Structure 1
């Protein structure tokens, strides 16, 4: 299936006066014959009853925006995958008819085939219970028409037809033989390469009647004079025969990739085009090709490391970008390549290609200060004036990455730069702490401003004047972010108390309360305001903020003034409507003052929600000082980590366990597995992959060390 950059790779719609160009062929009215005879309202798609499907099919056939109609129908009948709806089965004959009609524009036909192919793939991958019972018969009827499109006069359609057959595992023999038979007559290079890749993917499902001959065909192509064909065949053969690891033929793969014609691969649906507006961020087609090859190596860590090194010093700037992007992906998943790849990345921070510098500097910054990362800030200091933008949709630059790397090391050379950034029209690093990032590939997105500045507590004296000015005159999002920063800095933030008090009752209310509480007794001048708001909640607060305040205000008053009555009120508020996702943290912090809620906390240890169990266990320990019960609940969240079942709640459990103390002997094996694994343990991607892995390993090591020292 096509890659994530474009849902329609290789398709170039040809419009005439805003409408699809038409050619002689089967009339559209014939293609849609019988459309109204179907009881669409009784069928289902992702959004419910499918009564809107006929109008979308007509819009594809004869509307002003046929591609838009294809996309809208795709959202209905494919959505995000995971199921094949009854509406998809009913629409399939009309879709294949439109795709086969020469009266439909080639770009539209290719887009239709893209949807058909993804439906076929989903029918292969989804749970059988999620596949409409009508689908197999509909697919069987559609297959001959799809196979006929392999000889369509338009190369764009032929490429899309080949790609659409990629999921036809149940018909692997038929499709494989058809693709091989078509090859001598196929004159489009991209269609030829796509066919080889599809044959490789289908070979695992082929029967003994077809498989030996297919594998021999692929092996012959591995020696083809054309480097593009050799590359496709090497990748296809590794896909067809899992025992034949792609890394075993890495020298041949590298040689073929160096001679490959990138412009041919941009039309291969398996690879897809690199849009011009993304080249400055990701590099051009050679970079895309190298990255795509790396993804095929998957967990072949030594081979993928060699691939990075092979292209890391290539004369072609784009191939170097591909090598660095591969290194970023690899290092964020595995620890062992660091010794060989960190020096390569350090060298590439001075690369002539902006994307190579961006990725290299970013990964080194994410690893900075860690056991396998840079501990010297020179590589970052050299990039503090690098203006290359990380992405077209924001103003962040390599210089911002370099300053972040220095901040992670506590290197004062970043302080003037960051002070200037704080005074700029925007904070430069965003204001929201993103709880999770996923998606394909390593991303160069940066942490929020408060996360970047947090390690610079020792330099608060220099940065606070700018922070205080921004608290007075910044936007609400700026104020929330900087109040969050002041909470992280704790007592070092005390000079900013006069700026935090006016934020109480505003959109930055909770952030200001938390910051004042973290400052503690030095924020005494805020105590009367907090007490007044506790007893008379300010008007105009959003509902969630008002409810959280019921815990936050007395808790802050206790932190600042030591008011025991306020501390006891926290527990009452937690069970009286405060949001449970934050309430237990306040209860845990007041500890023994919340002893009246011990029984209620114990009942939550068996709650079906994992976050509720973990937070209640932590609060119970903090209230009672007794680890029994709480520890058992928390350790149940540790074992799945060893199986690669990563969830944020499990990191929270590990934090709480490290606070409780030595690990019992039955859990030692799990902690050692976490430490011994070469995998980076993480939920999120990008820089968080390194941060999460480091934190979990530190916690596991601490738990074992506490045990040995106990």
Structure 2
């Protein structure tokens, strides 16, 4: 599958650390399932500062082929391709950006097949994410396959990933507001929220956000690399800052101390982004100064202090 690696003059290409002569050996190791080699390859080929390189473009077709190698870590390779796509929005050498993007887009049939049929839900989720990142200009059955996955896939994480991918393509999945999974309902509500941030959200959609953000916390933490799931929810809802305030106010008054602690951390999201939030949240935060949970009281005091004069309160928790 990689027999033609030598057909590329890798030494004449460059990556982050200079000549790319090491890329063929790294690609072979990636095909054998070597995660360290994949990390090294990504470090060579994608840089946050410079983007992608000429060697990145040439490596992409081989990575797409590696997706079909049984020993490879397919989900991780899809993640690397996603980051190459993101890095391809700018480049160390200007021609490398559009060329890398075109190379990743060319793998769409492989991503669609993995989403539809791979036995590992993490791979299917990663494939959905990458398809979404390709953007609305890429057709080739992308939307139809994502919609199919959002309905029929047996794993809630895959259905949720498909809904989020549709949102990345500028599409909503309103039928998934009735999905049996709180996570899928939540991301469907988020997609509707983001489709037109200036339009009022229907009451039932707001109710889904209020209810299912809490019910989906564990899935969010597991699938979104989010150690603070409620903060992740609020960030996803920007720029609906009034909705952020509404949600976090309810969480600060929740019967569960665990939820109130998470809310105490999440409240900084609207406070940082929206000046009116300080005055709107002053009352709920003042109430939290008397919370029976010590951590909640401390979080409330910190947030009131950071809110400053707009809150109009002193941040002294009760003994």
Residues 363 and 222 of structure 1: CA distance in aligned 2, closer, same or farther (over 3 Å)? same
Distance 1:360 1:254, change over 3 A: same
Pick closer, same or farther for the CA change 1:155–1:130 going to 2, 3 Å.
same
Question: How far apart, CA to CA, are the structure 2 residues paired with 1:74 and 1:362?
Answer: 39
- Give the CA deviation at 1:353: 5.6
Alpha-carbon displacement from aligned partner over 1:498-551 (angstroms, at most 9, x marks no partner) = xxxxxxxxxxxxxxxxxxxxxxxxxxxxxxxxxxxxxxxxxxxxxxxxxxxxxx
Residue 114 to residue 83, structure 1, CA distance change in 2 (3 Å): same
Distance 1:219 1:377, change over 3 A: closer
What's the counterpart of residue 311 of structure 1?
Answer: 251
Partner residue, 1:707: none
Deviations 1:217-270 (A, max 9, x none): x12222345433221111122333445456974333113324x343333443xx
Bigger CA radius of gyration: 1
- Cα distance in 2 for partners of 1:377, 1:132 equals 50
Superimposed CA distance per residue, residues 670-699 of structure 1 (whole angstroms, 9 cap, x where no aligned partner): xxxxxxxxxxxxxxxxxxxxxxxxxxxxxx
Measure the CA separation in 1 of the matches of 2:293 and 2:143: 41
Instruction: State how many pairs are aligned.
Output: 315
2:314 is aligned with 1:359: no
1:355 Cα deviation from its structure 2 partner? 5.4
Normalised TM-score (structure 2) = 0.85
Q: Which residue of 1 aligns with 2:112?
A: 147
Aligned to 1:231: 186
> With CA pairs under 8 Å and 6+ residues apart, which has the higher RCO, 1 or 2?
2
8 Å CA contact retained: 1:328, 1:359: no
**In angstroms, what is the RMSD of aligned CA positions?**
2.9
**Contact 1:308–1:327 (CA under 8 A) maintained in structure 2:** yes
- 1:534-588 residue CA offsets vs partner (Å, 9 max, x unmatched): xxxxxxxxxxxxxxxxxxxxxxxxxxxxxxxxxxxxxxxxxxxxxxxxxxxxxxx
Cα distance change of structure 1 residues 110 and 246 upon mapping to structure 2, 3 Å threshold:
farther
Q: TM-score, normalised by structure 1?
A: 0.41
Contact 1:247 1:297 in 2 (8 A): no
Cα distance change, pair 188–267 in 1 and its aligned pair in 2 (3 A): farther
Query: How far apart in 2 are the matches of 1:358 and 1:299?
Result: 27
Q: Which residue does 1:296 correspond to in 2? A: 236
Q: Which runs of 5+ in 1 are unaligned?
A: 1-29, 204-213, 275-287, 383-710
1:82 CA drift (Å): 5.5
CA shift in 2, pair 1:292/1:132, >3 Å:
closer
**Counterpart selection for 1:322 from 246, 253, 262:** 262
Please say if 1:159 is aligned against 2:125. Answer: yes
Tell me if 1:176 matches 2:143: yes
Answer yes or no: is the 8 Å Cα contact 1:40–1:49 preserved in 2: yes
In the alignment, is residue 265 of structure 1 matched against residue 220 of structure 2? yes
Q: Distance in 2 between matches of 1:186 and 1:255?
A: 23
Question: Is the CA contact 1:349–1:357 (under 8 Å) kept in the aligned structure 2?
Answer: yes
Q: 2:76 aligns with which of 108, 111, 119?
A: 111
User: Is residue 250–residue 307 contact of structure 1 (8 Å, CA) maintained in 2?
Assistant: no
Residue 569 of structure 1: aligned partner: none
CA contact (8 A) 1:45 1:88 kept: yes
Offset at residue 377 of structure 1 (A) = 6.3
Matched residue SS, 2:52: coil
Q: Partners of 1:243 and 1:375 in 2: how far apart?
A: 32
Verify: 1:343 aligned to 2:283, yes or no. Answer: yes
Matches of 1:72 and 1:335 in 2, distance apart?
43
Give the Cα separation in 2 of the matches to 1:257 and 1:98. 37
Pairing of 1:274-673 with structure 2 (within 5 A): 274=227, 288-349=228-289, 351=291, 356-367=296-307, 370-373=308-311, 376=314, 378-379=316-317, 382=319
Whether the 8 Å contact between 2:51 and 2:90 is mirrored in structure 1 is yes
In the alignment, which residue of structure 2 is the partner of 1:400?
none
Name the residue aligned to 1:90: 58
